[in-house]
Structure 1
Amino acid sequence: MAAPTSPQEAHPTGALAEYVPGLATVRSYDRRWLGKDVVAGLVLSALLVPQGMAYAELAGLPAVTGLYTSILCLLGYAVFGPSRVLVLGPDSSLGPMIAATITPLVLAGGDPERAIAYASVLSLLVGLVMVLAGTAHFGFVADLLSKPTQIGYMNGLALTIIVGQLPKLLGFSVDADGLIAEARAFVEGVADGATNPTAALLGVASLAGILVLSRVVPKLPAVLVVVVIASLTVNLLDLTERGVDTIGVIPQGFPPLTVPTVPWGDLPALLLGAVAIAVVALADTMSTASSFAARRGDRVRGDQEMIGIGAANVLAGLFQGFPVSTSGSRTAVADQAGSRSQVTGVVGAVVITVVLVFATGAMEYVPQPVLGAIVIAAALSLADLPATRRLWHQRRTEFTLSIIALLGVALLGVLPGILLAIALSILNVFRRVWWPHQAELGRVDGLDGLHDTDQYPHAELMPGLVVFRFDAPLIFANSRMFGDAVRAMVEEQPDLRWVLVAAEPMTDVDTTAADMLVELDEWLNARGVSLAFAEVKDPVRAKLTRYELERTIDPTHFYPTIDEAVAAYAAQTGETWRPTKETP
């Protein structure tokens, strides 16, 4: 059955609509969706306003920039994004990366205007990287983060965020950088009595309220409820007199179009941060998009997702915003509220704009400890301890990779941590090719085919024959290992006459490996042993022919199946399968 089509597929509008899916959405929009989209947009905006401000401060920026960013990224993705349901916005996982990128470049003491300029340039760079990568069909880049390293990175990020927000939650601040230093400063601050009891009570109660309401009444906008109650409490009880810090007055009105500028010498550091942010944003987007597309029967367009996220970041960067990504939690809220299209995001952007133009005074009393509680609650959702435990039980090597990624983020910092996570993912792939599983195969009574004798020690073997399987493409990195393994088998079995390579897992043979096979075949022939192959894939066989291996290796020793190869050996030698290994 054909997969359901998205609106842009059902109502094509030419080449332009391929890159501007919003055009197809407008043409195919069903008016019956409008009511649900408006309601979902109103519900969504209740989450976007407080989270946007909280995540802006997490990135080291004024709270109002979170609102600017939310508006523009929602509009940008509505025009260029291919998904009908994904919601973009400021994200807890990107906040520390933004801060880690721009903080070293901002002058000591901090300058909000300078920080906004750097963050906006960073957003533009992220957008350009994403758009160029999407246009060049680089959607596969999301695969650079394997699931175990992504789990470890997110766990480390959650730990870093929580430790960094604990002082704000309890009503004081620390001057420290890095997980260890921040944790030490927090403990010393609590020990020295720096905690503000009123602020701490408000922060802890807010955190508990968000967590409890989200679990007990998931459809209720818990963050908005807590923010409203806390703000009213601060205002009515005049808690600012007791040292409770609030957001204060924020600028009123829509942000003007601004082309940010920074010194040319700072661009390389910003570009490095932009690439790291783009990889994380893409990986997060692809996982979220895949999940929700599966529910709706849609397909994921990875390259267009990159263009959509890139356009959202470019637009945010031109209006004093900072880099954004897809939010799984906000997407889930929109989906549960009945969202049918990106009109939901447009409604959310309009609501936030109305708040900025007419109701900024309503946010004056939002307490800083509550923003800390919002960020900590988001960080807790980033951590995935059950998945970490599952890795421990399922595969210890991947558990180890996850823990190394966690420690990389926690001890080295956010940007080095993500680079380490990417490097670990790539090295893990290379490790599997470099040190692949290899096995001697035998016949097992009651099972079709041949099987690993390590797994079936009682397997029958045929005297003088070794059936050897090497579970990887044969390339420069592992060719010596292959040759050494075959030589070891020959030396351990002086009566060996054939080495039959079960070549089905070999998807490639490069020139280095081809030279090794020539040398190996000559070495075997000198000892009266033949080298044979079974189930060589056609593209690989074509390469072996091009490498002229058949001048050394007997062309008749290439067999379409293992059974035919074994039958040829048995006909030549008169041998049969025998139980040559004892069961332990």
Structure 2
Amino acid sequence: MAGDSAVRRWLPGVEVARTYRREWLRPDLAAGVALTALLIPAGMGYAEAAGLPPETGLYATIVPLLVYALVGPSRILVLGPDSSLAPIIGAAVIPLAAGDPARAVALAGVLAILMGAVLIVGGLLNLGFVTDLLSKPIRLGYLNGIALVVIVSQIPKLLGFSVEGVDLIGDVTETVRAIAAGRVDPTALAVGAASIAVIVVFRLFKSRIPGVLVAVAGSIAVAYALGLAEDIPMVGALPRGLPAPALGGLSWADVASLIGPAAGIAVIAFADTGVLSRTFAARRGESVDGNQEMRAIGAANVASGVFGGFPMSASSSRTPVAEQSGAKTQLVGVVGALLIVAFVLLAPGLTANLPSAALAAVVIVAATSLVDVGGMVRMWRMSKTETGLALAAFLGVALVGVIEGIAVAIGLSFVAVVVHAWRPYRTELVRVPSVDGFHDIARHPEGHRIPGLVIVRFDAQLFFANGAMFDDYVRGLVADAPDPVRWVVIAAEPVTGLDTTPVDELVELDTFLDSRGVRLVFAEMKGPMKDRLIRFGVGDRFGADRFYPTLDTAVEAFGASG
């Protein structure tokens, strides 16, 4: 049992292999084949965006996919170079490389190793709780924001041209200008539109053959037969070569200069991966451990750096393709990695006739699966506050950036928590005819107070922001009571936290009540809260005679006090 637990913790892929079901094989193989058509050009493109040779993007895809299949907790997550990391990698590596491509590759490899080490250490220290901050509204807003960003970024390719926008607004502006200037290529648009139509039709008819695969293969065949390589943009041929160590020629000074960027990239990569992993797991009725995810992404990055790659994370464009293609397990990533190796060795020129418009169509259709307008509408009906958080995450991701958008939403989540705890639900408890116990007077206006007794319930922990409110609320109930009050009983069972500021408020309240001949007592207070009162130095003031195990015993004691 201990051995099985260790395998599940450190090598989830082995556990999946042990329990693999035959009916998963076909969809996994099909999804792996379909995914490969996107992995190759995406890896090459993001490598170039980072200022590195295109083949390094393939190495940063092959090796991480194989490693993650063994150590990763998510069954569907697709790893590889990412658009949010590429500019940061380039900013860290290019100035140090001084125009030397080999040195740039080595520096990028060290950067990936350092980043991976940061994540592994974070996972071992159980810092994966970061994903616990990614609530449903944040995930909902994040996915819709990512979908918008991805779709907008692919529209120019679908129309047969490129733009230089650096963000969503820039992309939209430049795309509109290009369309107005007549830069739309009808041939590229026809290829892209036909690819979208094929994928959608195959999906509607629930074909066992992936529409993505048909669209990509069909567009290659059409482009080759009609000789379109000279007319519209193509993905281009693959470079030759397999992953190999490329870390030579560096000094310790180079390593030291990359520590800061590595830490920053680690935070961005894990925040992005954490949202994606947790969101897709929830969509599939699964769960992932944040610490395990952090260690897995770290291990994949270390391996990427050692074998000629660069820092990478989970992909928000390729993961939906795997999901939409029917992926069941990590075998999809393994198939994708092995097919990339086969293409590099056997058919490096195959993608020379793959239209960029067809690839854009694949990405756009995949991104639409992330859109959840219905979820936003349902959330609006349930909670306006949480809808606001989702919109903040959506706008932050779409207009500012992935990590910035998530950070804004998490910050607003904390504000919402503080506001909720600052003004929690509080009520007076009363007797209700023919019903045992004590009940909320707001829900049972037919209830009656016990003369001389006020029972108060405060549904939150007591902390610095709400201690004064608690004090004022109790004083208000005493002042408004129809009969002179002799006892105040705090129904303390919901109070799960206590810090020093409300303790001072409790002392002031007790002093105030005592001056008016009113006794303050507590019912159902948890042991740890009593311990805190003692630790905060008021154990003598609030002795054992102030605490009752139940409300009934407190009320009986009030009655006996005469």
Corresponding residue for residue 79 of structure 2: 89
CA contact (8 A) 1:498 1:531 kept: yes
Shift, 1:537, TM fit: 0.7
Corresponding residue for residue 371 of structure 1: 359
Shift, 1:72, TM fit: 0.8
CA contact (8 A) 2:107 2:247 kept: no
Distance 1:526 1:367 in 2: 85
Shift, 1:394, TM fit: 0.6
Cα deviation, 1:418-475, whole Å, max 9, x if unaligned, reads 2212323333333333332222233445655433333444443333433222222212
Distance 1:233 1:347 in 2: 26
Distance 1:126 1:384 in 2: 33
CA contact (8 A) 2:105 2:246 kept: no
Tell me which amino acid in the other structure corresponds to 1:177.
V
Of stretches 393-402 and 349-358 in structure 1, the one that deviates more from structure 2 is 349-358
Distance 1:385 1:198, change over 3 A: same
Corresponding residue for residue 49 of structure 1: 36
Corresponding residue for residue 576 of structure 1: none
CA contact (8 A) 2:497 2:529 kept: yes
Corresponding residue for residue 540 of structure 1: 529
Distance 1:369 1:447 in 2: 70
Cα deviation, 1:450-504, whole Å, max 9, x if unaligned, reads 3333344444333343322222221223222222222333333473333221111
Distance 1:122 1:439 in 2: 57
CA contact (8 A) 1:156 1:405 kept: yes
Cα deviation, 1:487-544, whole Å, max 9, x if unaligned, reads 3333334733332211111112222222221121101111222222111011111222
Distance 2:352 2:451 in 1: 85
Cα deviation, 1:536-565, whole Å, max 9, x if unaligned, reads 011111222333434333632311112222
Distance 2:201 2:107 in 1: 37
Distance 1:451 1:368 in 2: 67
Corresponding residue for residue 276 of structure 1: 268
The answer as to 2:211 corresponding to 1:216 is no
Tell me which amino acid in the other structure corresponds to 1:395.
S
Corresponding residue for residue 351 of structure 1: 339
Corresponding residue for residue 494 of structure 2: 505
Corresponding residue for residue 426 of structure 1: 414
The answer as to 2:544 corresponding to 1:555 is yes
Distance 1:102 1:416 in 2: 17
Q: Residue 176 of structure 2 aligns to a residue in which SS?
A: helix
Shift, 1:397, TM fit: 0.5
Q: Residue 533 of structure 1 aligns to a residue in which SS?
A: strand
**Which of 133, 136, 151 is the aligned partner of 2:122?**
133
Distance 1:464 1:547, change over 3 A: same
Q: How does 1:138-537 map to 2 (within 5 A)?
A: 138-217=127-206, 219-242=208-231, 244-259=232-247, 267-289=259-281, 294=286, 302-318=290-306, 319-325=308-314, 329=320, 332=323, 345-445=333-433, 448-493=436-481, 495-537=484-526
Of stretches 520-529 and 394-403 in structure 1, the one that deviates more from structure 2 is 520-529
Distance 1:287 1:407, change over 3 A: closer
Distance 1:375 1:328 in 2: 10
Distance 2:480 2:226 in 1: 85
Tell me which amino acid in the other structure corresponds to 1:502.
A
Distance 1:115 1:355 in 2: 25
Distance 1:548 1:321, change over 3 A: closer
Identity %: 38
| TM-score scaled by length of structure 2 | 0.85
Q: Residue 466 of structure 1 aligns to a residue in which SS?
A: strand
Cα deviation, 1:118-170, whole Å, max 9, x if unaligned, reads 76566445422321122112332210211111211222222222222211211
| TM-score scaled by length of structure 1 | 0.82
Distance 1:556 1:353, change over 3 A: same
CA contact (8 A) 2:277 2:288 kept: no
Distance 1:51 1:454, change over 3 A: farther
CA contact (8 A) 2:120 2:299 kept: yes
Corresponding residue for residue 4 of structure 2: 9
Distance 2:143 2:246 in 1: 33
Distance 2:100 2:237 in 1: 15
Shift, 1:237, TM fit: 1.0
Distance 1:171 1:302 in 2: 41
Shift, 1:80, TM fit: 2.9
Distance 1:75 1:413, change over 3 A: closer
Distance 1:344 1:160, change over 3 A: closer
Q: Residue 520 of structure 2 aligns to a residue in which SS?
A: strand
Shift, 1:392, TM fit: 0.2
Shift, 1:36, TM fit: 6.8
Tell me which amino acid in the other structure corresponds to 1:253.
G
How many residue pairs match? The answer is: 547
Distance 1:72 1:493, change over 3 A: same
CA contact (8 A) 1:391 1:399 kept: yes
Unmatched segments (≥5 aa) in structure 1: 574-584
Distance 1:157 1:338, change over 3 A: closer
Shift, 1:267, TM fit: 5.0
The answer as to 2:66 corresponding to 1:72 is no
Tell me which amino acid in the other structure corresponds to 2:343.
V
Tell me which amino acid in the other structure corresponds to 1:280.
D
CA contact (8 A) 1:544 1:550 kept: yes
Q: How does 1:6-45 map to 2 (within 5 A)?
A: 9=4, 19-20=10-11, 29=18, 39=26, 42-45=29-32
Q: Residue 349 of structure 2 aligns to a residue in which SS?
A: helix
Distance 2:229 2:18 in 1: 49
Cα deviation, 1:330-372, whole Å, max 9, x if unaligned, reads 66579x5775xx6664444323211111112111111111222
RMSD: 3.6
Of stretches 280-289 and 467-476 in structure 1, the one that deviates more from structure 2 is 280-289
Distance 1:157 1:131, change over 3 A: same
CA contact (8 A) 1:96 1:161 kept: no
Shift, 1:270, TM fit: 4.8
Q: Residue 246 of structure 1 aligns to a residue in which SS?
A: coil
Of stretches 408-417 and 452-461 in structure 1, the one that deviates more from structure 2 is 452-461
CA contact (8 A) 2:41 2:235 kept: no
Q: Residue 84 of structure 2 aligns to a residue in which SS?
A: helix
CA contact (8 A) 2:321 2:363 kept: no
Distance 2:360 2:37 in 1: 11
